Structure 1
Amino acid sequence: MKQMIRIGFGFVALTLLVSCGSLNQGGIGSRLTGLVTGQSAAVAKPAPSLVPAEEMHANPGKYLRVNTRNLNAWSSLVQAAQNNGRVTWVDQTNTSMTFENGLLVATRGLVRDLMGADVSGSWNAIRNGGGTAQRRHDFLSDQDEISTELLQCSIVSEGTEVITRAEKKISTRRFREKCEGERLTFTNIYWVNQRGAMVRSLQAVSPDAGYLQIDVF
């Protein structure tokens, strides 16, 4: 497998997501090419219908709204399973995403999935208002083998911010997490409400899949 290219992200490119409308395309998929030798485009799927915002607001905890930024495609997900603190959500195309305390730990059905991740240190740092953490991310290589990347991460609070999610304003505290490994670098952003729950995030999936914006209803 080819040597992966280390990349960095400008802060401006990572902040083009504060509304729930269309987002500019972008993410690690188009920039970090070393993990990509056989997969370069997503398999076409039917466009899932979005659940109306009114229904999402009326049923807290039932829905996620996700934007796959490389495809600039929104989808609504419903909860499918819970297991040891991890919650799996699925959309109408059977694409699934698994989260632990709002942090992405696995995907299935994207162009190159995140097969698994250990993010417990990142969540502890967020709860403590910032700090450092080590992550482990597992990807499926072109040889159908698991490729593991260890990342050192720094989490900082960027203060309070009022966000608008489906026409409703929410007071949040914003955190930025920068992670660097031998072959991979990315930055995630999290918005946590006054109860300590994550209500919005921008999270990296894999070099092919890029970033997801996740709104939690």
Structure 2
Amino acid sequence: MFWTTGKNVVRTAMAVALTGLLVACSTGSDTVGNSQTLDLLKATVTRNKAPAPTATRDQLRAAITPEFRAQSGNVPLLLVSSLRVPVSSILSRASVNQNVETYITPDQITFALRDGILIASRGLGYDLMAADVSGVSERIRAGSGTAVRTHKYLDGKNQLVPYRFDCSYARAGAEVVESCSGEGLSFTNKYTLGAGGRIAVSTQWVSPGLQSYLIEHIR
């Protein structure tokens, strides 16, 4: 059994977290295949079903114990929180393709990140279908300069529409701030770098409908 603390808040936190980013969004989408880790997480959710308030980010972090990490195969995790609504979730890494990592919840919500930069989401309803972030990683690590992002979203006819954003970069204390604008939209992303220049914590904008998410890597 995962949860031997006897504290309902921990069991509830994980049950809520592992059911996905419940952000008043739809389910089902293109996604990577399941893994043994996902089966394990699904079983945990089934055993611990209980009506309860949404777990907080702090409750989820406290629930990621060494026991949980070991029994889930010690795969890297994401602790993700919407900045639009008070909902957080845990995603486990399901696949790696060169420098793109895809993380997933048991209900098939996925985030794909290239070098820690979000390039796609699925299952949220207002998804980022794809993103060209060539040159962005270099600017983040330099903490200065400019780069261009191209995001693709589905329109009302289910056609992909590209959005171009011009971005500038600057350091603000421990963070690198990315300020982007274009297509009548603007947003700000923030990145905290860890060992080796790897993105450890970030706030990243997904789409006009979903707004931004706080993304923390747990390795």
Under a length normalisation based on structure 2, what TM-score does the superposition of the two structures give? 0.68
**1:131 alignment counterpart:** 145
Letter in 2 for 1:190: Y
- Of 162, 167, 170, which aligns to 1:156? 170
1:57 Cα deviation from its structure 2 partner: 7.7
Higher strand share: 1
**1:109 alignment counterpart:** 123
Which ranges of 4 or more aligned residues in structure 1 deviate by more than 3 Å?
A: 43-51, 55-61
Please list every run of 5 or more consecutive structure 2 residues that lacks an aligned counterpart in the other structure.
1-23, 29-44, 46-53
Higher helix share: 2
Question: 5 Å matches for 1:15-54?
Answer: 42-43=25-26, 50=60, 52-54=63-65
Residue by residue over 1:66-124, the C-alpha shift from the partner in whole angstroms, topping out at 9 and shown as x without a partner, is 01222321111111111131110001221000001110000000121000001121111
Question: 5 Å matches for 1:1-217?
Answer: 42-43=25-26, 50=60, 52-55=63-66, 62-160=76-174, 174-217=175-218
CA distance in 1, matches of 2:161, 2:146: 23
Please list every run of 5 or more consecutive structure 1 residues that lacks an aligned counterpart in the other structure.
1-40, 161-173
CA distance in 1, matches of 2:173, 2:84: 28
CA distance in 1, matches of 2:111, 2:27: 18
Please tell me whether the aligned partners of residues 25 and 123 of structure 2 are also in contact (alpha carbons under 8 angstroms). Answer: no
Once the two structures are aligned, what percentage of the paired residues are identical? 32
Letter in 1 for 2:65: E
Letter in 2 for 1:43: S
CA RMSD of aligned residues (A): 2.7
- In terms of Rg, which structure is larger? 2
Higher RCO (Cα < 8 Å, 6 or more apart): 1
1:140 Cα deviation from its structure 2 partner: 0.7
Under a length normalisation based on structure 1, what TM-score does the superposition of the two structures give? 0.68
